[in-house]
Chains A and B, each alone.
Chain A
Amino acid sequence: MIEIIPKPAQKLPLWQNILFYFSIAVLIASFLSYFVLGHFIKNSQKTLQELEGTLAREKTSSQLLLEEEVFNYQKKIADFSLLLRSHLFTSKTFGLLERNSHPKIWFFQFNLDSTKNLLVLSGEAEDFSVLGQQLLIFKKEPLIKGLDLSNISVGRKGRVEFTLNLSLAPQLFR
């Protein structure tokens, strides 16, 4: 039978409406995102190019000069500190000898090698007893690390001639 009275259009469910608009929005957003990302990439590439240009720019002559001056002094200060730390005060040997020499001993030859801390003394003693006393004095001195007596002979007027090899403590020269 033919229906004369038209039926009202069937209403779509709400969830279908929401999902429909949502999917359209997602589609549009994804298309737009493509262009937005493209824009950001272009900007980033430009920034990167600028940064690379700045970094690649060579130092100016004044900067190079400044760098050279500072590094030069840095090296000089380091070298100077090193040399100052190893600086030797050789004259302290005289103080050591003045403090520890027997009054009846006469040293006539003095050989000092401060790089090896070695002192060779040639001298004359009144007699063997005085020489023995001198050796004892040197042995008691903490700055004398080693002692070696050699070339003992009786010289003119019966005086005893000798050579002493002294090994000195390195701190004597500091």
Chain B
Amino acid sequence: MNRIVVISLSLLISFAWGIFFLSPKNKTLNFLKEEIGQKQFELQSQEEYLANLTRTAENLKNYQIQLAKIDSALPDTPELPALFDFLQKSASQSGLVLKGLEATSGTQAEEGLRETRLNLLLIGSYTSFKNFLSVLEYSSRLIETESLTFSSSEAGLINAKIRIKVNSY
């Protein structure tokens, strides 16, 4: 056979083979490579996320005291008996008499926080009352004094009514 014919046929077949068989295969391979790259990125992100999570959990262990304070300020339940006990002891240590104590039902505030309000009726001197308020303000339970009403008598004693708010989950 004439060599020119062989050359022409070879090049023609190669060209047709490339168009109809190699090119689709190459496209498939490129698509797969892209998919692999994407999945590898996802896997890497997932691994980094888990590593960060582990690191954060480890870091949290170094702040146990601070976290305990946060737990105390924001307990999982209102923990009213413990709070009542604290209020009674604080009032007594400040020199006040706790005449009455009632809790209103908790309301669900924004972002899952539950607000519980308590009304306190107290009798004592002005100084004792000031001390008691300071104790409430600096307590680890993060007590908010929303309102306070008191009237004083000429004997120097005051009758006070305080509304406080505590938060829990």
Binding site for B on A (CB under 8 A): 12, 16, 19-20, 23-24, 26-27, 29-31, 33-34, 37-38, 40-41, 44-45, 47-48, 51-52, 54-55, 63, 66-67, 69-70, 73, 75-77, 79-80, 83-84, 87-91, 94, 107-115
Of all chain A residues, the one with the shortest Cβ separation from B162 is A90
New A-B pairs, 9, CB < 8 Å, besides A90-B145, A112-B147? A20-B7, A27-B17, A44-B33, A55-B39, A55-B42, A76-B67, A109-B151, A110-B149, A110-B150
User: Given the complex, which residues of B lie within 8 Å of A70, measured CB to CB?
Assistant: 53, 56-57, 60
Known: A31-B17, A66-B53. A45 touches B32 (CB 8 A): yes
User: Given the complex, which residues of A lie within 8 Å of B133, measured CB to CB?
Assistant: 90-91, 94
Number of residue pairs spanning A and B whose beta carbons lie under 8 angstroms apart? 146
Q: How far is the CA of A91 from the CA of B133 in the complex (A)?
A: 6
In contact, A114 and B147 (Cβ under 8 angstroms): yes
Check: B79 CB closer than 8 A to any chain A CB.
no
Q: How far is the CA of A19 from the CA of B22 in the complex (A)?
A: 22
In contact, B25 and A115 (Cβ under 8 angstroms): no
User: Given the complex, which residues of B lie within 8 Å of A77, measured CB to CB?
Assistant: 70
Bin chain B's interface residue count: 35 or more
Q: How far is the CA of A76 from the CA of B72 in the complex (A)?
A: 11
Tell me whether chain B's interface is mostly helix, strand or loop, or mixed: helix
Check: B6 CB closer than 8 A to any chain A CB.
yes
In contact, B10 and A12 (Cβ under 8 angstroms): no
In contact, B148 and A90 (Cβ under 8 angstroms): yes
In contact, A91 and B137 (Cβ under 8 angstroms): yes
A to B CB contacts below 8 Å, 14 in the list: A16-B7, A24-B6, A27-B17, A41-B28, A41-B32, A44-B32, A76-B74, A80-B70, A80-B74, A94-B130, A94-B133, A110-B152, A112-B148, A114-B148
User: How distant is B102 from chain A, measured CB to nearest CB, in Å?
Assistant: 19
User: Given the complex, which residues of B lie within 8 Å of A52, measured CB to CB?
Assistant: 39
